[in-house]
A and B are shown apart, each in its own frame.
Chain A
Amino acid sequence: MLNEMNDIVLVDDNPTLLGVLSEIFKTRGYTVRTASDGFAALAAIRERVPNVLLSDLYMPGMSGFELLSVVRRRFTTIAVIAMSGAYSGGSVPAGVAADGFYAKGSCSIAGLFEILSAIEDKAVLQSTRAAAPIWIPGLPIHQRDLSTMAVACPECLRPFSHSPRDEAFVEQESDCPHCLRSVRLAIVRPSEEMDKTALPLSTIATRTSESIFASYTSSNRYSEISSR
């Protein structure tokens, strides 16, 4: 069974973690490539499309949230597992376009291989993908001014500006001026206890303390989004 899914790309901004994981996968017969953020991962995928992508969520540059969303749209054959120390439990966190989730701070490494086996089941894969949201990063149009942000419509992918009405908001809706779809936007704040092994985390936490994502499902119904 593993022979069908033995080409894997691992993505994490902690080089020690990447090294450990890489060697474990190699001892299990996998062909392993590694990347330190989403942009490097996309370059590796472009070079050769892997069977499996295992990615951290909170990383500098392109985050795992955005990477997984891009991969879901561009490389639909790849089985995707998100991993993070910021979440616990076995279910895929809201807002993450992945087929499985590995809580790297609490779940055993053997558990990771169980998740891999589970997502080889095509029925499981299809059911998790049916409601997968699309992650869209938000950027302040003026530096340090979050009153107006640029977001991309998850339906037509065109950018438009959005003005949050209240900085303390959790969720808002906005209409795309291009395709007129109603888009749900949510402020995401990384958890205090996120990802202790990510060494540069203290520096990126401030930078990513307020980001925005839009969620839109293929069935025209919004998926559940929760503030983190």
Chain B
Amino acid sequence: MINILFQCHRYRRLEGSLHEAVRIVERNRQ
């Protein structure tokens, strides 16, 4: 889960919001 998220540059730097993080993870699960 965290790997999916940390592929996004913003999330390696924790710059995005938590809601956006959830959307990214759920989109990649589908």
List chain A positions with a Cβ less than 8 A from chain B. 14, 16-17, 19-21, 23-24, 27, 83, 85, 102, 104-110, 112-113, 196-197
Contacts and interface: CB of A to CB of B under 8 A. Distances in A.
Contact of B15 (A19, A85, A110): A110
Contacts of B11: 109
B17 A105 contact: yes
Interface of B: 1-2, 5, 11, 13-19, 21-23, 25-26
Q: Chain B: interface secondary structure?
A: helix
B14 A109 contact: yes
Choose among A85, A107, A112, A197 the residue with the greatest number of B CB atoms under 10 Å from its CB. A197
A113 B22 contact: no
B18 A196 contact: no
Given A16-B25, A24-B14, A197 B2 contact: no
B2 A17 contact: no
Contacts of A113: 14
B19 A20 contact: no
Contacts of B16: 108-109
Contact of A196 (B15, B19, B21, B25): B19
Contacts of B22: 14, 16-17, 20, 197
A119 B26 CA distance: 31
